[in-house]
Structure 1
């Protein structure tokens, strides 16, 4: 694991936490989503730190203008200064600081830090996924015992989880750590690569899968940085079953 990246993300999380426990301003972006002074402060910090350490790499952030060099760069850092800004603005703890390194369109390492809960997930290709230093793996459960989380909506009938979390990042986190066996994520028009690059490598290193409804693995650093409308995350063992259910419901509407 990259100790420097882990420490940097902890520092970024502390910046967010200082605002969370103090004061901050909330504004509305052109797409209707909220942004706070904390988002911008964390964005500045991560840009400075990553820029100094990896000056040749490009950076893609939710909160700043796109870098025109990005399409030609093999290495791109994709960051979300505060994931779950609406939770942050409401002073709820379900927010995180996310960063992932993408090489040739594939996520290779990431850190997701949820500072109010003091949960840090670090993942790197070939090294595993670790939560607060403890290696985590997806659940081996399959069949009728599998817990699959689906929010209210078109795929709600697939839900078998006793509890569904509103924050998509934390729902994916539950699959990575083996608390649930799968989830179906419906993205919004404002959902971008910054929301899920961290999760792609984390779920793989924990032994699971995350795909679109074509059963294709997710690629990043695309010209248009939006995500597919539906994502499926699982422990691999129940992936085909969830995918079949999603396709069945899509075809019936």
Structure 2
């Protein structure tokens, strides 16, 4: 079995195992103190993933939302980019299932493996076996754009109005991109600033599934940079990318300040 294949499986298995720990943590602690639960979730998942990667891939660097940034990653050939708990707000709310665990591997400038676990949904999407993308959307179906359920962005509202699209509120970035892969939505767009760990794993899986993923100006998404912030992102079915990029430019030009609301 090749090393690359093993990396796919490591990403998948660790995302699943971290997610299982988070589900048990929710069951054990309950939701009476949501901030305590959220803090525990971030820490428990980070410590598990960081320790497991140190054991399984001791020569690789790690970039984690919950860990101190190690500048040595900038000279490394292989860097694991992880978000131990994406959608912390939703994790601390009863009944919410739109939170995730992200595990991705960047190697020599590219994302080469990734997994997104949706533990409360009992689902994991990974580059081991990327989801199948239907060849065509149902005829006449309105476009559906995943958007924040707590901070609906004005820029995305304007874009939806121009496209005649429906907004689908949802929690974590991973859950939103998974919704596009699973056919629950057609488009994920974010214009308010993120970090690399918010999208690395979902983008790795989305690309493996055949989706388009880029910046809002159509330029490439790049990872393992000195500054891990990532201002904007578009993930969509490939046949929609040209129309969407043109519409994004049009809407941005209507606002002299450009798109500046979070998704």
* TM more than 0.5: yes
Which one scores higher on RCO, CA 8 angstroms, separation ≥ 6? Answer: 2
Q: How does 1:7-156 map to 2 (within 5 A)?
A: 7-23=13-29, 36-91=39-94, 92-123=96-127, 129-130=130-131, 136-137=132-133, 140-141=136-137, 145=141, 147-149=143-145, 151=147, 152=152, 153-156=154-157
SS in 2 for 1:214: coil
1:224 aligns to what SS in structure 2?
Answer: coil
* Separation of aligned partners in 1, 2:142 and 2:239: 9
Mapped to 2, the partners of 1:49 and 1:147 lie a distance apart of: 40
Deviations 1:6-29 (A, max 9, x none): 33322211111111112286669x
Change (3 A) 1:4 1:107: closer
CA RMSD of aligned residues (A): 2.4
Scaled by the length of structure 1, the TM-score of the pair is 0.84
Q: Distance in 1 between matches of 2:26 and 2:111?
A: 29
Which stretches in structure 2 are left out of the alignment for 5+ residues?
256-263
TM-score for both structures, normalised by structure 2: 0.81
Corresponding residue pairs, total: 237
CA distance in 2, matches of 1:53, 1:202: 21
Structure 1 gaps of 5+ residues are 29-33, 131-135
Q: Give yes or no for the alignment of 1:167 onto 2:167.
A: no
Secondary structure at 2:125 match in 1: strand
- Distance in 1, matches of 2:235 and 2:249, equals 15
Q: What residue in structure 1 maps to residue 261 of structure 2?
A: none
**1:12·1:46 contact (CA, 8 Å) conserved in 2?**
yes
**Secondary structure, in 3 states, of the residue corresponding to 1:112?**
strand
Q: Is the 8 A contact 1:58 1:69 kept in 2?
A: yes
Aligned partners of 2:116 and 2:174 also within 8 Å:
no
